[in-house]
Amino acid sequence: MSIFVKLSWYFKQEWKTYMVGVCGLILTALLAIIPPRIIGVLVDAIHSGKLAANNLVILLIVLAVVAIAQYGSRYMWRTAIWGEAAKLEKVLRNRLFWHYTQMDQAFFQKYRTGDLMAHATNDLSAIQRVAGGGILQFADSMITGGTTLIAMVSLIDWRLTIIAIVPFPLLAVMARYMGSKIHIAFRDSQAAFSRLNNKAEESITGIKVIKGLGQQKEDMADFDNQVAQTININRRVNRLDSLFDPMTTMIISLSYVITIVYGGYLVTTGQITIGSLVSFVSYLAMMIWPMFAVGMLFNTLERGNASYDRVMDLLKQQSKVIDDPDGANQSPKGEIKYDVQQFAYPGDDRLALQQINFEVPAGKTVGLVGKVGSGKSTILRLILRQFDNYKGSIKFGGIDIRHYKMDALIPAIGYVPQDTFLFSDSIRENIRFARPQASQKQVELAAQKSDLFDQIKGMPDGYDTAVGEEGISLSGGQRQRLAIARALLINPELLILDDALSAVDAETETQILDNLRSERKEKTTIISAHRLSSVMNADEILVINDGRIAERGTHDELMTLGGWYHDMFERQELETKVKGGQNNG
């Protein structure tokens, strides 16, 4: 019952509608008592041969009026109670999704996407069921059960009532016991289904790798195994269901047998009429659902309670990246100054960055190069405020980035990662994702700068061509260029290309970098790359090694230094020449 207390904030807030619902339930329960009694009266009248035509008409009219009134009262409680339940789900869903958007990267590293989705769907449904089905089961077992019982005692016979309902508590106990067993089995079955789904998704997404490495048979065997497990678990659900139904029927039948035997005795001894026995049997049928409801109520509340706690735990998680409410509201402009002494990823003891000190004057370009995993992306993630737990500071336009409002800082940065995400929408909408009101002309200009313009023109529907899951597939290079166009459209003060040219050919890369240089004279750019030609024209190049700056300078200075940059540049030059030679030969 504690879930009712936990949800009391909502019941208090919505008490009027819930009152309407409960009144509807009371009215429905009271009206439901009338038809069985009328039928009993009719049976008695027929039995004694005293049924007058006008009495029959009156009773039929009363039955019709009761039926119409019941229709109205049912409509009343259904719309009120189910409506409130849906509203609660909406309130919690909005709160949870808003919370997700406010969380930092550490949160998304801690919780897997699948789990977060499960909380936002299954858990919220379980809570919704408390506010709908739970309230209904609670009110129904009390109201319908109570009024029917009173009708049986007061209108028919108290002794028959007591004897007939003796088996009923068994129904409640069974519904509770079996219900929780079925629930556990069902939860396992859901989990198995979700594992199977994940496996199918992984196999389909990774089909190229699977086939490329000749692992189809192994993958198929793994899939078969998952299917077999899922079927086994589903069989358990079916077995429990098959046990539950016949047992219920047995208990209900037992109650009917008792009623007929003892009721028959009462009729033959003249203690009740045959019409009363008929009414009683109808009332008995009306008691079955409230008894089920009592049993089911505990399961609904238990599941709702566990789900509510899980959702509240998530909502209690605080983002470590705090959006300063009094932070600077202006868009940052000017020099960028990194002075990061130390940074470690949350939950990781290793230092990912140490002594990262550099400046990028406004309008200049800095290049970051280094081995795989040296820390280039990490440096860039910090200015995007994905993590705040570093020692030191990063200033943009003289102000610590942690002292800007997020809404001021983030729109000033155009970040292009290596792997971009395309939404299932048109090319146009994908380009103007961060600036939905941009005109066609502006979109085209951005596409021109990222060297994508001609290719889009050649696509079946031009800018209306659908991409993403339901549209055409773009090549890796096209995706990267689309992402660059997306970032350029907001004309950011700082453009970050995080290995964002890795999939385009050298010629296109040169073209794009030339465009950026001429278009973004006043604006700052940071380019992280593996291909050194991407950064050779930068004002300063930093070679990152093991989270530290190992070399720094212009291209010429680094070549003279003769270190990692020099060796790598020569190697890449040689590779290009060899490739060029092969292509020509």
> Whole-angstrom Cα distance, residue 233 to residue 235?
5
Q: Least Å distance between CB 72 and ligand ATP?
A: 59
| Nearer to ligand ATP among residue 105 and residue 229 (C-beta) | 105
Which stretch of DSSP H or E encloses residue 524?
strand 524-528
Rg (CA), the chain: 36
User: Shortest approach of ligand ATP to residue 495 CB, angstroms?
Assistant: 17
In the complex with ligand ATP, the residue whose CB is nearer, 126 or 542, is 542
- Closest distance of CB 504 from ligand ATP, Å: 17
- DSSP codes of every residue in 11-46: HHHTHHHHHHHHHHHHHHHHHHHHHHHHHHHHHHHH
Residues at the interface with ligand ATP (CB under 6 A): 109, 345, 348, 352, 370, 372-378, 499
Angle, helix 440-449 to helix 506-519, in steps of 10 degrees: 120
CB of 204 to ligand ATP, least distance (A): 26
Secondary structure (3-state) at 321: coil
Residue written as token pair 């930068």: 538
Tokens coding 336: 């960028």
We find the least distance from the C-beta atom of residue 186 to ligand ATP, in angstroms, to be: 35
CA-based torsion, 514, 516, 520, 524: positive or negative: negative
Which CB atom, from 140 or from 499, has the smaller least distance to ligand ATP? Answer: 499
Among candidates 149, 147, 182, which has minimal Cα distance to 164? Answer: 149
Question: Which of 172-204 are b and which e, b meaning 16 or more Cβ less than 10 Å from the residue's Cβ?
Answer: bebbbebbeebbebbebbeebeeebeebeeebe
Task: Please report how close the Cβ of residue 297 comes to ligand ATP at its closest, in angstroms.
Answer: 45
CA torsion through residues 176, 182, 183, 185, sign: positive
On the CB side of 526, how many CA atoms lie within 13 Å of its CA? Answer: 27
Q: Can you tell me which residue has the tokens 């040169």? A: 510
Minimum separation from the CB atom of position 488 to ligand ATP (A): 22
Helix (H, G, I), strand (E, B) or coil at 350: coil
499 or 551: CB nearest ligand ATP: 499
Cα–Cα distance, 558 to 546 (Å, whole number): 18
Residue number with CB closer to ligand ATP (237 or 543):
543
Using an 8 Å Cβ cutoff, are 52 and 119 in contact?
no
CB of 117 to ligand ATP, least distance (A): 20
CA angle at 494 for the pair 449 and 331, rounded to the nearest 5°: 120
- Please, what is the minimum distance in Å from the beta carbon of residue 485 to ligand ATP? 22
DSSP 8-state secondary structure symbol assigned to residue 534 = G
- CB closer to ligand ATP, 295 vs 370: 370
Q: Which residue is nearest to ligand ATP (CB)?
A: 377
Query: Six-digit token pair at 483?
Result: 């992402």
Residue among 373 and 580 whose Cβ is closer to ligand ATP = 373
CA distance 195 to 112: 14
Amino acid present at 34: I
Burial of residue 518, with CB atoms counted within 10 A of its CB: 0-12 exposed, 13-18 middle, 19 or more buried: exposed
Residue owning tokens 């990662």: 417
The structure tokens 């309902």 sit at 165
Shortest separation between residue 546's beta carbon and ligand ATP, angstroms: 9
Cβ nearer to ligand ATP, comparing 109 with 440: 109
Q: In the complex with ligand ATP, which residue's Cβ is closer, 251 or 535?
A: 535
Q: What's the closest the beta carbon of residue 336 comes to ligand ATP, in angstroms?
A: 18
Which residue, 107 or 463, is less far from ligand ATP as judged by CB?
107
**Residue length of the chain:** 585
Return the number of the residue (348 or 454) whose C-beta is nearest ligand ATP: 348
Instruction: Indicate the residue among 36 and 375 with the shorter CB distance to ligand ATP.
Output: 375
Between 104 and 140, CB nearer to ligand ATP: 104
- One-letter amino acid at 406 equals M
In angstroms, what is the minimal distance from the CB of 529 to ligand ATP? 9
CB-nearer residue toward ligand ATP: 112 or 457: 112
What's the min distance (Å) between Cβ of 208 and ligand ATP?
21
In this structure, how many other beta carbons lie within 10 angstroms of the beta carbon of residue 18?
A: 20
> Which among 168, 361, 143, 165 has a CA at the least distance from the CA of 262?
165
- SS3 category, 367: strand
SS3 state at 328: strand
Q: Which two tokens stand for residue 1?
A: 């019952």
Q: Shortest distance, CB of residue 196 to ligand ATP, whole angstroms?
A: 28
**Closest CB to ligand ATP among residues 177, 345:** 345
Q: Where are the beta strands (DSSP E) in 270-412?
A: 336-343, 353-360, 365-370, 390-396, 399-400
Q: Nearest distance from residue 528's CB to ligand ATP, in Å?
A: 6
